[in-house]
Amino acid sequence: MQVTLQGKPFTFLPEKALYNIQESILIIADLHLGKVNHFRKEGISMPLNAQQGDYLNLKHLLDKVRPAKVYFLGDLFHSDYNYDWHHFEALIGSYTDIEFTLIKGNHDFVDVEKFERLGLHIVKELLEDEYFIYSHQPVSFEHDKLNIAGHIHPGIALSGRANQSARIPCFYLYDGLLLLPAFGTLTGYCIMDRIQEAQVFAVLPGEVREI
Amino acid sequence: MKKQHDIAQEWFTRNNWQPHKFQQDTWDAITSGYSGLLNAPTGFGKTYAIWFGVLQAYFAKKKRPSGLHCLWLTPLRALSKEIYYSTQRVSDELGLDYDIALRTGDTSQKERVKQKKKMPHGMITTPESVHLLLAQKDYTQTFKNLEFVVVDEWHELLGTKRGVLIELALARLKALNPKLKVWGISATIGNIEEAKEILLGTEPGKNKLIRSNLEKKIQIETLLPDEIETYPWAGHLGIQLLDKILPVIHNSNTTLIFTNVRSQCEIWYQRLLDADPSLAGQIAIHHGSLGEEVRLWVENALHDGLLKAVVCTSSLDLGVDFRPVDTVIQIGSPKGVARFMQRAGRSGHQPGAISKIYFLPTHSLEIIEGSAMRYAIAHKQIEQRVPYIRSFDVLIQFMVTLAISDGFRPDELYEEVIKTHCFESISREEFNWCLAFITKGGKSLDNYDEFHKVVVVDGVYRVVSRRVAMRHRLNIGVIVSDSMLHVKYLGGKKIGMVEEWFLSRMSPGDVFWFAGLNLELVRIKDMTAFVRKSTKGKGIFPSWQGGRMSLSSQLTDAIRLKLDEYHKRKVKDIEQVKLVPLFERQEAVSCLPDVDELLIEKAKTQEGYHVFIYSFEGRNVHEGLSALLAYRIAQSKPMTFSLGFNDYGFELLSDQEIPIEEALQNGLFNTGHLLADIYASVNIVEMARRKFRDIATISGLVISNYPGKQTKTRHIQANSELFFKVFEDYEKDNLLLQEAYEEVMTFQMEQVRLMRALERMQKQKIIIKELQQLSPFCFPIFAERFREKLSNEPFEVRVRRLIEQERK
């Protein structure tokens, strides 16, 4: 779904990512890679292949969009180094023409050097240009730009006649802040308030729709 | 041949008591080396029936070993104390060299260390504490001379996973002491023989079931509205009958008022005070979320006869007898005969006294349950307790428990656990799966896997990580509760615990009712809600989830019978007489079915198209039936349903017309393909997802208690839903996942009962009525807010339609 943010054209992708068309930047939040192994290391059983979907989804998306740049809005890796790193390394290594940037989140503990060796740019808190502020957590200072952020894992609860209801992930735009849905499959949602002024874009299989 | 029972005789004579026959029979059996189950009502000396047997077995020995001789397990700490006082009293009065100690969650560390150094002869404890003992290094020393395990209130533990904890502990203890004798004490239940077999396992040794012929008389009185015409058709509260309760309270010494859920308990307490301010200071509130201190205060005040009434929940179902209590009131359906009898039994403790219980129906149709209950009790229609079987979550926890103490060898452990009723049917492959789960985190093919929990050292399964051991110890047990916040005054005084989700909806300054107090939320910090007293006198009541019990088949059978009596013009109970105008109304707008008829009502409202079916099988079966039938109807065309149900019937609601007649012709109630159809209906996944919450915690996937600070460990917290989803997608054959489905089939769908219901419905004559106005039967279901949904439309289609509806 095409939208205009700050006068610039963007696409809300049903793969749970945002695309800045003019600058060819693909923006992805909250992958939480390595979660399975992190849990297993603690003696908590989670099937090893449960994370495969994330790598496949990421690969499909990169192939489909072929962006010049990718911004990861934090929580790319769930906690410290574990074997998942090798899967990630292999994936990133096969897209040498894409420039990857990680804006660090509260779960990203993998050391900076390791990322840099992969050719990833590391940004500590935020990336700012004339129109946008890209960050993991929504920024707390005053600004007149659009803050594009992750961290929250927004979702929306729908309800209708005959007591029907469903919960789905969404993009959530309100008061100078655009929240991205979490990309990782091993994540949950935070159900957002339905305030009048907020714009909600629900992520459905194959399409994004404004509610 | 009668045996001599010197110790018992001496003590009974001293106290001027005459032993009952069942007590003497039990002493005989115990001293002759039997295991067994004692079935006797409370208040007739069942504790002493067992205890003197144990003492006499001990003192009959020429050489009396030191150390633990008897373990006495109870489901409740309060009960443990009572047993402790009763047994200690014997040792004191007779000057016996037989030490007794308590060990529960409250026991101090100092006391535990003391116990470890020198074990008492008798220990009174809980199932969880026994597992904690099994988690200690050198536990085999502790249990070396153990001769008896007594399981008190076995009927309470039997139908729960705590019962499985006991079965497993007994299997281990029997392996250590092949001559161990096991005795259970149980109230009357429908499957008392089976209860004995489950307790004693597949190799019970010589054993006996001893039943006392003593009976407690129960008198039931239903509190009826003056005018049935104006009493509400739906509701769970029953406040309209408040002025019927006040005289009961005033005319009694002390009254226990049982409610079914905690919110109801809080509301009734407030309303009683509002209606009769003179009760202030004379009534109290008691439920499971209140702090230990508050509860103890109430219990002591009850003991001392300081209270006129206590509004409570199942928190006072069990436990110590409160002698001043002479009246019990049950608000709303008690859901089961055994439960009702148990509550009634909380009054009238003097031998030969009558237990008096009042039943307060919360909506008009529920009045019939008073009459049904009286019938079921008179005809001894008491529910069975269905035991858990194949509880792999508990087995996995138990394996890790043994691995953190002395370790275990799989071959030996397998032989032990298959001697329990619970694990009798598990295969060696299934057992091995559990082993793989704790050593490799399930199937593991990846060489780089970093899974770490239990390791194998020279064929012995052990936990070597101190962190894993500590975390496990803190999480031993099978009672899983929601994430709770402490409620404290600003000064730090504890009030109790409230579910996190309730308080998370509130902001500082909001006012709510809790523990009978009007409280203002000040702030939430570190899993604690700080509050101060409010004078606003308004506020919301926390609603606690869960506790939605289903009416038992004993009661639903009795209800069907009582409705049929109206048809046969045999109305005689006052409840039935009172209901005549309601029945007439039902007949006028629809039909009142007799026992051979099945009523189906159709209605169209602005919510959509409704179909109501009255099978009178309890809400669990109705939940399953509604999903099943909705699924079958949706086979002819894609449809989405909202499902409603109560204990009497269920409702299918759709935004399209429901082709019920067509479905009936196509064999809607067929029992063929039943299992496949049930599994195909979406709800079963939802139900399993909820069941999986407990399983995930018990098996250690989701960790509820952490050593030290909670906040630091957020990164290894995942909710059970995530695990459920992941296993559903990637590991369908996971035994824990399968366990969730099996629990749903047994305990929630009540598969056996559902099958019987369908068979009955097939034979019944079907009557379809189109309603012009809602009937007394359908209204309570219509008004239920708690609903399920079923759809065979693709997810996108459903969500798209929801979005369209929202846009309008």
What tens digit of pLDDT does each residue of B92-124 get?
999 999 999 999 877 888 888 888 888 999 999
Residue B22 belongs to a domain: yes
Task: Report the C-alpha gap between A92 and A150 in whole angstroms.
Answer: 21
Q: What is the pLDDT of residue A23?
A: 95
Long-range pairs of B3-9 with CB within 8 A, sequence gap ≥ 24: B3/B27, B3/B28, B3/B31, B3/B32, B5/B31, B5/B52, B5/B56, B6/B56, B7/B52, B7/B55, B7/B56, B7/B59, B7/B94, B7/B96, B8/B48, B8/B52, B8/B55, B8/B56
pLDDT per residue of chain A (211 residues) written in tens, 0 to 9: 999 999 999 999 999 999 999 999 999 999 988 888 888 888 888 887 888 889 999 999 999 999 999 999 988 887 666 677 888 888 888 999 999 999 987 766 667 788 888 888 888 889 999 999 999 999 988 889 999 999 999 998 887 665 566 788 999 999 899 999 999 988 877 888 778 889 999 998 889 999 8
State the smallest CA–CA distance between residue B731 and chain A in angstroms. 7
> Measuring CA to CA, which residue among A136, A132, A152 is closest to residue A5?
A132
For residue A161, the chain B residue with the least C-alpha distance is B607
Spell out the residues 6+ positions from residue A184 whose beta carbon is closer than 8 angstroms to its own: A30, A31, A32, A33, A35, A54
User: Are B730 and A49 in contact (CB < 8 Å)?
Assistant: yes
Split into its structural domains, chain B has a count of 4
Residue B644 forms beta bridges with which residues?
B651
Please tell me whether residues B670 and B761 are part of one structural domain: yes
Residue B477 belongs to a domain: no
Please tell me whether residues B227 and B177 are part of one structural domain: no
CATH code assigned at B279 = 3.40.50.300
Instruction: Tell me which of B802, B804, B807 to substitute to probe the interface with A (most A C-beta atoms closer than 10 Å).
Output: B802
Q: CB of B641 within 8 Å of any CB in chain A?
A: yes
Task: Report the C-alpha gap between A55 and A52 in whole angstroms.
Answer: 5
Q: CB of B718 within 8 Å of any CB in chain A?
A: yes
Contact between B779 and B233 under an 8 Å Cβ cutoff? The reply is: yes
Please tell me whether residues B195 and B341 are part of one structural domain: no
Least confident interval from A61-70, B319-328, B502-511, B594-603: B502-511
Range of the domain at A65: 2-210
Task: Report the C-alpha gap between B100 and B292 in whole angstroms.
Answer: 24
Least confident interval from B82-86, B245-249, B637-641, B717-721: B717-721
Please tell me whether residues B716 and B747 are part of one structural domain: yes
Angle between helices B466-474 and B392-404 (to 10 degrees): 130
| 3 state DSSP class of B770 | strand
Condensed to tens digits (0 to 9), the pLDDT of residues B356-391 reads 999 999 999 999 999 999 999 999 999 999 999 999
For residue B724, the chain A residue with the least C-alpha distance is A46
CATH code assigned at A30 = 3.60.21
Task: Report the C-alpha gap between B144 and B177 in whole angstroms.
Answer: 7
| 3 state DSSP class of B235 | coil
User: Are B451 and A40 in contact (CB < 8 Å)?
Assistant: yes
**Between B451, B607, B716, which is nearest A162 by CB?**
B607
Does residue B564 carry a pLDDT above 90?
Answer: yes
Residue B369 belongs to a domain: yes
Please tell me whether residues B752 and B787 are part of one structural domain: yes
User: Are B448 and A78 in contact (CB < 8 Å)?
Assistant: no
Structure tokens at B529: 């809600």
Does residue B52 carry a pLDDT above 60?
Answer: yes
Q: CB of A47 within 8 Å of any CB in chain B?
A: yes
Condensed to tens digits (0 to 9), the pLDDT of residues B235-262 reads 888 899 999 999 999 999 999 999 988 8
Residue B768 confidence class, pLDDT cut points 50, 70, 90: very high
Q: What is the pLDDT of residue B682?
A: 58
User: Are B803 and A107 in contact (CB < 8 Å)?
Assistant: no
The one-letter code for the residue type at B56 is Q
Tell me whether 0.85 is exceeded by the ipTM. no
Does residue B565 carry a pLDDT above 90?
Answer: yes
Q: CB of A42 within 8 Å of any CB in chain B?
A: yes
Task: Report the C-alpha gap between B608 and B621 in whole angstroms.
Answer: 24
Please tell me whether residues B264 and B170 are part of one structural domain: no
Task: Report the C-alpha gap between B787 and B771 in whole angstroms.
Answer: 22
Condensed to tens digits (0 to 9), the pLDDT of residues B703-712 reads 877 665 444 4
Task: Report the C-alpha gap between B115 and B57 in whole angstroms.
Answer: 23
Q: What is the pTM of this model?
A: 0.84
Structure tokens at B72: 């006495």
User: How far are the Cα atoms of B298, B338, B802 from residue B21, in angstroms, in the given order?
Assistant: 36, 25, 69
Task: Report the C-alpha gap between B5 and B728 in whole angstroms.
Answer: 60
Residue B715 confidence class, pLDDT cut points 50, 70, 90: low
Please tell me whether residues B142 and B250 are part of one structural domain: no
Please tell me whether residues B672 and B807 are part of one structural domain: yes
Q: What is the mean pLDDT of residues B65-89?
A: 91
**Between B445, B653, B729, which is nearest A162 by CB?**
B653
Please tell me whether residues B598 and B681 are part of one structural domain: yes
Q: CB of B645 within 8 Å of any CB in chain A?
A: no
Q: CB of A165 within 8 Å of any CB in chain B?
A: yes
Least confident interval from B27-31, B571-575, B680-684: B680-684
Structure tokens at B175: 């392996």
Split into its structural domains, chain A has a count of 1
Condensed to tens digits (0 to 9), the pLDDT of residues B264-283 reads 899 999 999 999 999 999 99
> Measuring CA to CA, which residue among A46, A28, A5 is closest to residue A173?
A5
User: Are A160 and B805 in contact (CB < 8 Å)?
Assistant: yes
Task: Report the C-alpha gap between B89 and B98 in whole angstroms.
Answer: 11
Residue B573 belongs to a domain: no
Residue B103 forms beta bridges with which residues?
B125
Residues 468-507 of B with CB under 8 A from A: 468
User: Are B798 and A48 in contact (CB < 8 Å)?
Assistant: no
Residue B648 belongs to a domain: yes
Contact between A91 and A97 under an 8 Å Cβ cutoff? The reply is: no
| Chain A residues with CB-CB distance to B799 below 8 A | 158, 166, 168, 202, 204
Task: Report the C-alpha gap between B305 and B291 in whole angstroms.
Answer: 21
Q: State chain B's mean pLDDT as an integer.
A: 89
Contact between B55 and B31 under an 8 Å Cβ cutoff? The reply is: no
Please tell me whether residues B365 and B509 are part of one structural domain: no
Residue B1 confidence class, pLDDT cut points 50, 70, 90: very low
Residue B438 belongs to a domain: no
Does residue B263 carry a pLDDT above 50?
Answer: yes
Instruction: State which of B322, B354, B378 marks the end of a domain.
Output: B378
| 3 state DSSP class of B329 | strand
How many helices (H) and strands (E) chain A has is answered by 4, 16
Return the ∠ at Cα A127 (arms to A126 and A130), rounded to 5°: 130
Q: What is the pLDDT of residue B539?
A: 76
Phi-psi region at B138: left, alpha or beta (left = phi > 0; alpha = psi -120 to 50): left
Please tell me whether residues B742 and B667 are part of one structural domain: yes
User: Are A205 and B796 in contact (CB < 8 Å)?
Assistant: yes
Condensed to tens digits (0 to 9), the pLDDT of residues B524-552 reads 877 788 999 988 777 777 665 445 688 99
Range of the domain at B88: 6-211
**Between B451, B655, B723, which is nearest A162 by CB?**
B655
Residues 115-134 of A with CB under 8 A from B: none
Residue B585 belongs to a domain: no
**Between B452, B608, B703, which is nearest A162 by CB?**
B608
> Measuring CA to CA, which residue among B343, B344, B321, B342 is closest to residue B219?
B344
Residue B681 belongs to a domain: yes
Q: Hey, how many other C-beta atoms are within 10 angstroms of the C-beta on B642?
A: 25
